[in-house]
A and B are shown apart, each in its own frame.
Chain A
């Protein structure tokens, strides 16, 4: 082969990121007829956080990297728009939005911010939706969460959200979270069910999960722009299509994986609560200060927020039309 692409993700082989990487590798190697080889490095062998890995992408030691919004927010603060609660209603809306021009808008913003070094290739999913989970009680309405110590990553937006709901955001590194839940250093967390189960958090007492789906766990797939631009056009096409395949795979993977995770959670005695539409509206109402905070304080916040909300509106209209047609 002529080209070797080195792809890395900081998660392990049980993660959706790995599923996406494998699909990408398989598609690109086959479609390029072996002209492109993809090497996958899972974990932290090459780099261990967003800052390091994106620097690697920029200087050419890494070709492809997947970050969460938190991982890239130190450089591109507006990617936190994906963490804004209750903007996208469900998978169908989210998938339509992320497959469209919204992602291209974000790509342009990141390219111009990184001096044309880092290219956003696609946005997939990693772990489904974030939900509130805790060790103390069922959370059915915003008042139930008041006073709880909720673990967040050290990023502004999730902390603002937790604060807006009257709880206390507590930054704890991911590897220390199990012990911290077990011993009560924190009482809750906001994660997808697959992460909750793969980290065995129920064993640490995390028995209450509320499916409020407050944030879409977007996976941002980055590539070195120079590396991409150096490819001949036919290979660019293969790579772009490869990322499409990858995106589809990561959309699907958590849906399949979460079935077992939910079953295991309930079988272990866990309390799984689905809030009613009214309760969900109450959560959205309580989270209102976060939107104001985001558009006022985050660089590029207004621009990306407008892009997202108009994309959501468009997607919802299209989906209604499609649904109506399908129901005839």
Chain B
């Protein structure tokens, strides 16, 4: 919870009206983004993202499992988000649960596509080892360490970075397993397969304060919002998911406008993230 005086509220709103926000940014500029990959050695892939004072970690763990009977040619991906009380005392006990579920559900919608698996940012069929028998289960965990607004964009970016950092061990399947028998597998600990992350979308949240909308809102600005729309967009410019927060209703034409603004911003964000991720990977290799 952010406690603001009336004067501070007016200051924030007035600044947004005049396109110069409290920290000197314009309405459509992000805070500096820094990416660090490979922060958790025990995971198959991990990344830490800092956007201003917001800090999140994403980790990807891969385990061998059995594919769903309904979709024998696809692996499985599960996404969870944890809001640690380290970030805010409000998250203690069950306090962060509601926010955690909300964030997890939105991220699942954005990254996993429709029920049939179409439009998913992660190619589920690449996770299959032996059709109908063995597949990789990816567990993607997001952790909020420090929260200063715009958690969803940060988590989306962290998951993208963590996935591009992910190496999945090459698996040799022993031939000769008959019928329902589970074949024997040999997991290589030297050869790793890189994960294709070109289809993973980014999430852009536009927060509406007064008549204008801003990107990358701080928690102070978020406390003044009337509504916020989070759009996830991939490199092709297609929308992969959308969700709305905040109580105020929006005119349909405003939503269309927000989507086109988000698409424009996403291009810059994808390029910025990609260069940051490759810089982080290069830095990691040198060490």
Is chain B a partner of chain A in the same complex?
no
